[in-house]
A and B are shown apart, each in its own frame.
Chain A
Amino acid sequence: MHFRLNGQTADVDAEPTEPLLDVVRRAGCTGPKEGCWIGVCGACTVIVDGLPVSACLYLAGMAEDADVWTVEGLTADDPALVDAFADAAALQCGFCTPGQVTTAWWVAHRPDVDGGPGGARSPGGAGGPGGDPDVAALMAGNLCRCTGYQAIRAAVETYRAGH
């Protein structure tokens, strides 16, 4: 298959029906992790065409020609993202961290469009009508068993405030 991975062209051998997670990991990006394997825990989160997806459920064939970013690419030129998590000590075992960081990037960069996917005012959206998107709602798809989330939340707020 052919897609862009962290800004570079990637041509890899992949079955269209295999999870995108396996494909990006085989391509050397082992930051995204296999946790629950059913799209609940968020450890495998990657960005596909600007939106966070659970790469364990996202089929490789759906990412044909897509623009895919993993934690490696998102943090490479973004010291503010790294520092936000490091300074807040927003991690412990680190297994969920690549997914948390990836979603945090999206929280700060996502298009805030009425009714758009993930938009603050979309149906059932994060902030309610006209509300400020709530970090807790936006990050609820990324489980962490270690930290109790307080530090992660602080890191995401800090990073978002810088954008």
Chain B
Amino acid sequence: MSTVVHPSDVRVDAVRKIVGAEEYAGDVSLEGMVHACIVRSSERHARIEAVDTSAALTIDGVLRVVTAGDLDCALYGRIVRDIPVLAVDKVRYLGEPVAAVVATTRRLAELGAAAVVVEYGPLPAVVTADAALEPDAPLVHEAPWEYARAVVSPDDPPNLQSRAARGTRQEAEAALAGAAHVVDETYVTPAGHQGYLEPQCCVARWNAEAGSLELWIPNKTPYRLVEQLAACLGRPAASIELHPVAIGGDFGGKGSPMAGPLCAELSRLVGRPVRLALRYAEDLAATNPRHPTSIRVRMGCDTGGRLVGLVVDAQVDGGAYAGYKPMPEVSLRGIGHAASSYRVDAAYVESRIAYTNTVPKGHARAPGSPQITFAVESALDELALRSGLSPWEIRRRNVLRTGETGHEGVRYAEHRAAEVLERAERSIRPATAPAGTRHGLGIALYDRPTGLGYTSLRLTARADGDLDVGVAVPDTGTGSHTVVREVLAGALALDPACLHVRHLPTGALPGDQGVGGSRVTATLSSAALLAAERWQARGGEDSIVVELRGEAEEPITSYCAQVAQVAVDPTTGELTLLDLLTVVDVGTVVHPASHQSQVDGGATMGIGFALYEDLELDDGQVWASNLGEFKLPSVRDLPSLQTEVLEGGKGVGPANVKSIGELVNPPVAAAIANAVFAATGVRLRRVPLRAEDLWEALYPATAAAPGRPAVPAAAAAGPAPGGSSEQP
């Protein structure tokens, strides 16, 4: 290990991660531990007629084959409890766990799983939200309103998971009817995996004598997971302990119980510690990816380009279960924030999430926001074109100013949209498009509120004079534990090297809300400052515990503007992202390196969403079944990434911080799509933005085109920008 003394701002976890010593769930190895593998449904929707385990049980080393009848647990879910640990009577999606095989090695467990024979009686399936919400659609669940904490009733359309609406449709429609210019278009986004590189994994140890259960699981909401496991397994929460392990990437995907409940049950049934680790192919096909959406946007303005009406109807594929969504109303809140950066006289936003016979969907970085921002920010450019305004001008005329209340009805402390746009326009460094390609530049804007949450923290004096800092919330990689150290060091005037931050097991602290909503820096820095205050005022104690249950004094939101520059090859439709400028509105940046990483990582994930990532969920099957086909951006795929940090904003809490984790990825796709339009006159309304779609739009079937037989020489010029070549 390095003996060099690091400067104080080096992340608390840096060295152990660099030398390979960090412990992830898959690195945990317990005495007597055995391995499990899941038998997954090969059908989208079918009755389970029979499960033949005899062949699997003949394999030497296979200890047990478990099916739903062996389990002693309830349905689980983060809000709606509709997910069976193993399928009961029928399967609802391709890849659903039907049985599990426990063996002495992982290889034998996998061989055993392959030997289990399941007979299915196929049922009619619904594989899209549109089809699922038809009146006579086959039912994914016969009576979804009967599940614990369901948000639907028998009066709702069949297969409804949830419905969220804001505003008055009639008023918004009336406003649109009176608008001088109206856009009415539908934008489509695919299912997408979060792309964390660590597959879902769990190690569970059930101690029958003590009646206790221990888990090592990469979950970002450990205290909530304990509650969910307690409810599912019918055990007291106090008997369940989660040990801290590093989380190998989250982005929303590590908030659900996932492998936990099954692994716990398997450990109970075989009486030994069990590791259940998914292969990446299983993770892509059958965990909790981002919701595919089809979003119809109708947006109208007056002759001066002032937004008068907005109607959004989002149709969302929720998959076979609703239980991976954690919001009380079971919605994707990002969709509800449609056009939240702008003044609109009358807005109505409705989303309907449907049960379908596809993989159940969950949260992915800024849930709903990449989808709605692609739709609304593209539509706004389309409206600008119709109004004769530039994309910059229509935004300038409509962004909220400090003191104004937007159509969501929230009065934020400040709006820095105009400043962010101005900084973006001033910071553009023109990129050079290669000869023979067309250059285009596009802008998109996004805003995201920052809140506070609940957490707890412990300070303990050490014999050597240093301080141990015990935290309840895991660091998913964002640098949150480093933030705690930086804030405490500042408040206590200590050398950061004297502060030792450790993530403690559940039970060691009163509780924590978990990672989510880009609120961790705000919550943890507030908790750290509170702890510093109490520490200085303490009597003789050498250990204190503080709890922070925070509400921001006033609502805070922050803005992000992005400018994309692209080059499009008019003969092939090939699209190259040349440059992506990100302007972020911040309060105080606590740890600049971690902040910048969140900006760069967010921009990169936005590029993946815009250009590459598609699970190819078709006819109920995930076809992008490995990381070769579900392509994440590599270092070679990136353009130059420029960042401008607009300091001096009003943030949350005494540390004055704003959100960053989910601020940067949502606007990327619209910025690129708008740049493509500027370059070619082609409007792409489906992500990922693909050369094939661009080429088809550039050269409609009737036209001659490069690559088609008998190309007339004139075709090489392509259509004029702003022409009629819009994507159908």
Q: Cβ of A96: which chain B residues have Cβ within 8 Å of it? A: 197
User: Are A98 and B2 neighbours in the complex by a CB distance under 8 Å?
Assistant: no
Q: Cβ of A32: which chain B residues have Cβ within 8 Å of it? A: 20
What's the dominant secondary structure at chain B's contact region?
A: loop
Q: Taking the complex as formed, is B1 at the interface, i.e. its CB lies under 8 A from any CB of chain A? A: yes
User: Are A36 and B627 neighbours in the complex by a CB distance under 8 Å?
Assistant: yes
Give Cα A92–Cα B130 distance, bound, in whole angstroms.
Answer: 39
User: Are A34 and B199 neighbours in the complex by a CB distance under 8 Å?
Assistant: yes
User: Are B627 and A94 neighbours in the complex by a CB distance under 8 Å?
Assistant: no
Q: Give the contacting residue for B597; candidates A139, A143, A148; CB below 8 A.
A: A148
User: Are B20 and A30 neighbours in the complex by a CB distance under 8 Å?
Assistant: yes
Q: Cβ of B600: which chain A residues have Cβ within 8 Å of it? A: 147-151
User: Are A149 and B604 neighbours in the complex by a CB distance under 8 Å?
Assistant: yes
Question: How many chain-B residues does the 8 Å CB contact rule pick out?
Answer: 61
User: Are B636 and A136 neighbours in the complex by a CB distance under 8 Å?
Assistant: yes
CB distance from B705 to the nearest CB of A (A): 30
Q: Taking the complex as formed, is B601 at the interface, i.e. its CB lies under 8 A from any CB of chain A? A: yes
Q: Taking the complex as formed, is B280 at the interface, i.e. its CB lies under 8 A from any CB of chain A? A: yes
CB distance from B638 to the nearest CB of A (A): 6
Give Cα A71–Cα B596 distance, bound, in whole angstroms.
Answer: 26
Q: Cβ of A151: which chain B residues have Cβ within 8 Å of it? A: 593, 596-597, 600
Q: Taking the complex as formed, is B14 at the interface, i.e. its CB lies under 8 A from any CB of chain A? A: yes
Q: Taking the complex as formed, is A75 at the interface, i.e. its CB lies under 8 A from any CB of chain B? A: yes
Known: A38-B628, A40-B628, A92-B479. A145 touches B26 (CB 8 A): no
Q: Taking the complex as formed, is B632 at the interface, i.e. its CB lies under 8 A from any CB of chain A? A: yes
CB distance from A63 to the nearest CB of B (A): 18
Q: Cβ of A37: which chain B residues have Cβ within 8 Å of it? A: 279-281, 626
CB distance from B146 to the nearest CB of A (A): 38
Nearest CB in chain A to that of B631: its residue: A40
Q: Taking the complex as formed, is B4 at the interface, i.e. its CB lies under 8 A from any CB of chain A? A: yes
User: Are B20 and A98 neighbours in the complex by a CB distance under 8 Å?
Assistant: yes
Give Cα A137–Cα B14 distance, bound, in whole angstroms.
Answer: 25
User: Are A91 and B601 neighbours in the complex by a CB distance under 8 Å?
Assistant: no
User: Are A87 and B10 neighbours in the complex by a CB distance under 8 Å?
Assistant: yes
User: Are A93 and B626 neighbours in the complex by a CB distance under 8 Å?
Assistant: no
CB distance from A2 to the nearest CB of B (A): 22
Q: Taking the complex as formed, is A110 at the interface, i.e. its CB lies under 8 A from any CB of chain B? A: no
Give Cα A151–Cα B197 distance, bound, in whole angstroms.
Answer: 18
Q: Taking the complex as formed, is B521 at the interface, i.e. its CB lies under 8 A from any CB of chain A? A: no
Give Cα A136–Cα B635 distance, bound, in whole angstroms.
Answer: 6
Nearest CB in chain A to that of B602: its residue: A148
Q: Taking the complex as formed, is A131 at the interface, i.e. its CB lies under 8 A from any CB of chain B? A: no
User: Are A87 and B6 neighbours in the complex by a CB distance under 8 Å?
Assistant: yes
Q: Which of B76-84, B134-142, B241-249, B449-457 contacts A (4 or more CB under 8 A)?
A: B241-249
CB distance from A97 to the nearest CB of B (A): 5
Q: Cβ of B635: which chain A residues have Cβ within 8 Å of it? A: 135-136, 139-140, 142, 144, 149, 152-153
Give Cα A34–Cα B279 distance, bound, in whole angstroms.
Answer: 9
User: Are B197 and A30 neighbours in the complex by a CB distance under 8 Å?
Assistant: no
CB distance from A44 to the nearest CB of B (A): 10
Interface digits, A12-35 against B, CB 8 Å rule (1 contact, 0 not)?
000000100000000001111111
5 A-B pairs with least C-beta separation? A31-B20, A148-B600, A93-B477, A95-B248, A94-B17
A-B contact pairs, 24 of them (CB 8 A): A34-B277, A35-B199, A35-B280, A43-B197, A75-B18, A82-B1, A82-B2, A82-B15, A82-B19, A85-B18, A87-B10, A89-B597, A92-B477, A93-B250, A93-B476, A93-B477, A101-B20, A136-B638, A141-B634, A144-B635, A145-B195, A146-B601, A148-B600, A148-B641
* A contact residues vs B (CB 8 Å cutoff): 18, 29-38, 40-41, 43, 70-72, 75-76, 79, 81-83, 85-89, 91-98, 101, 135-137, 139-153
